[in-house]
């Protein structure tokens, strides 16, 4: 009976040592705090990120429109050019 109790106590102490080592190594509380803070930061800066995304979309649309107009100027068979002939060819 006494040996059984000592074995159980040793097992419990061994488990507690493993648990302590895990918490020192992984530190889930610190990981949770870091995750919460990064989520909070993302929520607070979402408006700025949205403005930046809108600017990028508008800029790329402008670049696309500019490229399409340059292609249309060089093409003699396009409907955008009208009846003007491409005199550079």
Q: Which tens digits make up the pLDDT trace of 12-43?
A: 999 999 999 999 999 988 999 999 999 999 99
In the predicted structure, residue 3 carries a pLDDT above the cut 70: yes
pLDDT tens readout for residues 50-71: 999 999 999 999 999 998 888 7
What's the pLDDT score for residue 53? 97
pTM above 0.75, yes or no: no
d(CA 83, CA 81): 7
* Torsion sign (Cα): 78, 82, 83, 88: negative
How far apart, in whole angstroms, are the C-alpha atoms of residue 8 and residue 50? 59
| Domain co-membership, 56 together with 88 | yes
* Same domain flag for 87 and 55: yes
| Residue 67 or 79, more confident | 67
**Quick one: 39 and 52 in the same domain?**
no
Tally of structural domains, the chain = 2
């Amino acid at each position: 009976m006494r040996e059984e109790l000592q074995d159980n106590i040793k097992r419990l102490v061994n488990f507690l040592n493993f648990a302590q080592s895990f918490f020192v190594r992984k530190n889930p509380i610190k990981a949770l705090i870091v995750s919460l803070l990064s989520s909070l930061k993302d929520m607070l800066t979402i408006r700025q990120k949205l403005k930046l995304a809108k600017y990028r979309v508008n800029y790329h649309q402008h670049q696309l429109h500019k490229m399409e107009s340059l292609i249309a100027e060089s093409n003699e068979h396009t409907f955008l050019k009208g009846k003007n002939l491409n005199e550079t060819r």
